[in-house]
Amino acid sequence: MNLDLVAQQKAQLIVRACVTTAAGDKAANELENVITKTLGVLQESGVYAAALYLWTRTRQEDKAKAEKIRVVLLNSAKELLGVNDPTAQPGEALKFLSDRICSDLDLLLLVKQVWEQTLVYARFGAKAEKASS
């Protein structure tokens, strides 16, 4: 599996889901902000903390973007395991992260790396959207 390609594809999904032509620069700025903060949490505190962070966004602008980012990241983790179960409930998804990802150090590091790369690509994708509008 080409993990860089996975990260690229997931980043494109995030940008397409969050930035529409009508919203323009504002949506791209908001997306870039949420991604940057999520990336910081991921790098400092890990995969589980990043998922929690995305679930706790309350500002209306951030909440919708955080949800889309969260869904894409969780689905990428599930795809790495070969699991096809797009769970949207926080309890189930956090249990999945604890039981299946965080309990295996090698897998945890792999997921963290893929999520970081995905978020970096998505952040640059949001910047590109700003530049093109």
> What's the CA dihedral at 69, 10, 117, 83 to 10 degrees?
90
Is residue 79 within 8 Å of residue 6, measured between CB atoms?
yes
What angle, rounded to 10 degrees, do the helices at 105-132 and 3-18 form? 50
Q: How many CB atoms within 10 Å of residue 118?
A: 28
DSSP state of 107: H
Q: Name all domains of the chain by residue range, CATH numbers in brackets.
A: 3-132 (1.10.520.30)
pLDDT digits 0-9 by tens, 71-126 = 999 999 999 888 877 666 788 888 989 999 999 999 999 999 999 999 999 999 99
pLDDT digits 0-9 by tens, 23-70 = 667 888 999 999 999 999 999 999 999 999 999 998 888 899 999 999
Identity of residue 112: K
